[in-house]
Structure 1
C-alpha cells in the first residue's frame, strides 16, 4: 500500500512537472523577425552598352525609436557594378493605391525586365512574355523598388500592426525612414537621389520629399510624379463639389474623341483639348457656380455643349444636374454597344458586366494588363532573382478602406486636415531645397488622375515664380500607366533620362 501511494505521488509530481514545463515553454517568445534577401549577379545591354549589376531582392528590417522591430519592408535594388557610389545617381520608386505593390512600374518601365503588353487589348491567357527592358533606367541610375507595408512582401512585425502604417502621415514617415536606412546601410549618402512615385505615389513623394529635408536633412536631386494624385478634394468627382467636375471634363472629351463618339471629330487632339479646357473654365465652371440660379435655357445650352464635347447625350447631363462623375461617364459613353471604357486608361474598352447599371463594375484596362504583369513578375522574382517565399505576396493589400487620409500639413500647425493635400508639402520641399527639380509625367487618357487636375495642382502651387522653372511636364498619348503604349514607353524613358542628365 505504501509503495502504491509513493508511486501515485511520483506520477502526480511528474505530471505537474511536465505541465509546468509545457507552460514555461508556451511563454517562450516567437523567433525574432529576420530580414531575408536574395543577391544575384546580372548583365544587360541598353543602347548597345553593357551594364553589369547586382540585384538584391527581399526585405529590410525596420525598427522603432526603442530599437524594437516594427516592419519588414519589401524591396528590390539594382546597383551597377564597378562604379563610384558617391557620384552614381540612385532612384527610389513605387506605385500608389494606397495599397498597391510596385510591380507595375517594376515590370512596366523601370526594371531590367519588362512585360510585353498588348496595348488597348486583351492578350491570350498565357504564357505571357517578358524581355530585356531596353527602356530601363539602369543606364542612368541605380534603382530601388519599394513596396509599402501591406503590399508585396512588406508587413508589420513585433507588436506593430499593418494598420499602424496605413495613413497619409504614417505612410510618409515609414517610407522616408526606409530611404534613410537604405542609404545609410548601403553607403549612398553622397549619391544624387531621386524619388519616382506613380498615382497615390505622387502624394507620398511630395510628402516624403518634405519629410526628408525637414527631419533628416536629406536633399533630393529631383522627384518624378507619374500620373500624380496629390489633392483629395480635386481627385474625386463623386460629390456635389463643382471643381472636380470641371477638372475631369476635358478627360471626358479625350475619351470621346478616341472612341469616335462625337460628331465632326477634329483631326488634331491637342486643338480639341484646348477647346475643351477653354469651355470648362470659361463656361462650364461659371454655370455650375450659379447652382439653382442657372436658368433653364442656360442649363440646356451648357448640356448641349457638354454633349458635343463628351459624346454623352444632353438629356443625360440634364438628368445629372450637369454633374456626371467619371465612373458613370465611362459606363455611359459606349453603353449602346454594351461596352465599358477603362478608368486607368480610357483607350481600353471591354464588354459590360451589367449593361443597364449606371456605374462601371470593373476596369477593362486592369483586367487586360494585370494578369500579364503579375504572371511575368512572379516568374521573374522567383527564378531570375531567386526569392524563395512569395506565398504572401500582395498585389493589392486590404488597405484603401482602412486608410487614415488625415494629414498634418506643414502649414497647418498641430491640426490635422481631414482631407490631404500634399501639394503644400511639395511647395515647402521646393522652397527648402530650391535646387530640387520636379518632372511630371501625365497621360491624356488617364481618368484616375486627369491631366487637367494635374495642371490645376501645378498652377496653384504656392512657390516663388523663380522656382517654377524647376518644374517640367511631359504628356503622353496614353493613360495612367502610359508606358503600356510603345511610343509612350520610348518617350517616357527619353524624358526621364533627360531629367536625370540635366545639370
Structure 2
C-alpha cells in the first residue's frame, strides 16, 4: 500500500522509521494477530541470563531479562487481558537498584519493534553495518557495544503492541466473539492515545514488578517514539503520578504539520518546505552536488537556515503575488544551496518534497538518495518517476538488524524459540485522532503540559543532519515553539550529528550520542547529584 492512497495523517506518519507502509512491503499480509487464545499470552513470561559489556574501556556485568508483561483493560474490564508486551531489560549488577537510573527505550513506526535501538545503539551487543552503503548479506557481525548506555542507566527495550514478540490478546471462549474482541483490541491500542496508555500501563507494572518506583526514570524514543514520548510523559505525569527525570528524543516529530512527506497534499501550507531546506542542503553538500562546495558544514547550514526563514519564507508567503524576477532569484539561490537545476526548481514552483529531492539530486547518475539517511544512495527503481519509490538506507541495513536480533534473542537471551519476531505490527488502520481532534497529529501540548506540571523535567533533543524523514530544523522549530514559559525553555538541550534518522548507524555519531545521553542522565539523576 502506498502512502498516497492513505489519509493525510497516516501518509505523514507511515513514512517514519518502522512505518506501517514499510511493514506492508515486508510482512506476510496473512499474519494478523491470531484470533486464537494462546495460554502463554495470558501470563507474564521471563527468561534470565547474565553477561558483561565493555563500555569505553569499563567492564559492566549485567543481568538480562527477556519477558512479557500482560496489560489489562480499565474499569469493569480490569481483569480482561488486552496485550502481552515483550521487553528486554538489562540491570547492572552490584548497584543499588532502588537508586540506579532506569531508561525505557522504544522505536517508532507507529508499530515498530525496538530492534533498531537495541541492536544499533544501546544494547550490550551491536550489529556492524556499512556506514553509508549497502551492508553485504549474511553472515553479519555482532560485536561488543563500546557505547551501550548501560554504564549510565539500566535499560528496558520495549516492543510496541503487535510488533516483535508483543501480541494483542483475544481470549473469549467463543471463537466467533474472539474476532470482534480482536477488532476492539486493535481499535483501542492502534491509536495515538491507546498506544500511549499501553506504554504507560507497561511502565507502571514494570516499576512494581522490579521494585523501581524510587529509581530516577527516563524515556528514550526515536521517530514516532518521540510522538509517543510526549503523550506518554503527559500520561505518566498527570494520570499515574510518575514524575520523570528526563525525556530523550531522537529524530523528533511532534507536530505532523511540519512533515516534508505530505505538504503537496495540503496546498497552502509551506512551512515543511522551509524546514526541510537545511537537510536538502546538507545532503547536497555530502554528495558534492553544490556549485561551490563550502568548507564547513555547520557554518553552511546556519546560512541556509537564515535563508529558509528569511527570503525563502517571504517568497513562499507571497504565493502568486511573487513576481517573475524575484522567483528567478530565489530559484538561483536554491540552486546554490541544494544543487537542483534552476529550471526544475521553477517548474516545481520552488516547492520540493522529500521524495522529489531524493529522486532528483543524483538523478543524472540514475540513483536515489536515502530518506532515513540521505548519505545512502541506490539505483532508482524508475528513473522517470517524480519521487523516490523506496529508501536505499532502509534496504541497506534492515536485514542485518533483523538477522542479528533473531539469533541473539534465542541464543543469548533464551527467549522466543518457537515464536515469530515481527519487525512491524500490522497497524495499517492506526487511528491518528488525538484527544478527540481530527487533522494532523500535534502532541506539542502534551509535552508542554508534562513540563509545566513537572517543572524539573529535562528534555534532550537529538537529530541528524541527513535525516529527511524528520528533518533536524523542523525538530528545532517545534521545540522553540513549545507552548511553555520562557524559563522552562532552559530545560531543553539540543544535540545534532553528522548522521541520519538512525544517528547511531554512523559509529562516530553513536559515540557522541552515548556520551551526550550519559551526561544528560548524570546531570538529571537526583540520586547522583545529592
Q: Is the 8 A contact 1:79 1:143 kept in 2?
A: yes
1:464 to 477, 485, 507: 485
Alignment of 1:403 with 2:430, yes or no, is yes
- 1:229 alignment counterpart: 253
Render the CA deviation track for 1:322-350: whole Å, top value 9, x for unaligned. Answer: 11101111000000000110000011111
Q: Is the 8 A contact 2:260 2:276 kept in 1?
A: no
User: In the TM superposition, what is the alpha-carbon distance from 1:237 to its structure 2 partner?
Assistant: 4.3
Q: Is the 8 A contact 2:161 2:168 kept in 1?
A: yes
TM-score by length of structure 2 reads 0.86
After superposition, residues 90-489 of structure 1 pair within 5 angstroms as 90-158=102-170, 159-160=181-182, 161-238=185-262, 239=264, 240=267, 241-389=269-417, 391-399=419-427, 401-408=428-435, 415-489=436-510
Structure-2 change in CA distance of 1:316 and 1:30 (3 Å): closer
Structure 1 distance, partners of 2:487, 2:418, is: 48
Q: Which moved more, 1:384-393 or 1:223-232?
A: 384-393
Q: Runs of 4+ in structure 1 displaced over 4 angstroms?
A: 28-32
Render the CA deviation track for 1:127-166: whole Å, top value 9, x for unaligned. Answer: 0001111100111111000111121111111334334311
User: In the TM superposition, what is the alpha-carbon distance from 1:76 to its structure 2 partner?
Assistant: 0.7
Structure 2 distance, partners of 1:397, 1:163, is: 14
SS at match of 2:310: helix
Structure 2 distance, partners of 1:486, 1:155, is: 33
After superposition, residues 49-88 of structure 1 pair within 5 angstroms as 49-65=58-74, 66=77, 67-88=79-100
User: In the TM superposition, what is the alpha-carbon distance from 1:37 to its structure 2 partner?
Assistant: 2.1
Structure 1 distance, partners of 2:111, 2:301, is: 32
Structure 2 distance, partners of 1:171, 1:390, is: 27
Q: Is the 8 A contact 2:56 2:147 kept in 1?
A: no
Larger relative contact order (Cα-Cα within 8 Å, sequence gap ≥ 6): 2
Alignment of 1:499 with 2:520, yes or no, is yes
Structure 1 distance, partners of 2:491, 2:373, is: 28
Structure-2 change in CA distance of 1:389 and 1:35 (3 Å): farther
Aligned alpha-carbon RMSD (Å): 1.5
User: In the TM superposition, what is the alpha-carbon distance from 1:83 to its structure 2 partner?
Assistant: 2.1
> Is the radius of gyration larger for structure 1 or structure 2?
1
Structure 2 distance, partners of 1:136, 1:213, is: 28
Q: Is the 8 A contact 2:89 2:155 kept in 1?
A: yes
Stretches of structure 2 that go unaligned for 5 or more consecutive residues are 1-35, 171-180, 524-528
SS at match of 2:249: strand
How many residues matched? 469
Q: Is the 8 A contact 2:261 2:469 kept in 1?
A: no
Q: Is the 8 A contact 2:292 2:336 kept in 1?
A: no
TM-score by length of structure 1 reads 0.91
Q: Is the 8 A contact 1:150 1:162 kept in 2?
A: no
Q: Is the 8 A contact 1:153 1:390 kept in 2?
A: no
Structure-2 change in CA distance of 1:286 and 1:36 (3 Å): same
Structure 1 distance, partners of 2:152, 2:369, is: 36
Stretches of structure 1 that go unaligned for 5 or more consecutive residues are 1-27, 409-414
Structure 1 distance, partners of 2:52, 2:480, is: 43
Structure 2 distance, partners of 1:390, 1:136, is: 29
Structure 2 distance, partners of 1:322, 1:45, is: 50
Structure-2 change in CA distance of 1:48 and 1:264 (3 Å): closer
Structure 2 distance, partners of 1:174, 1:142, is: 21
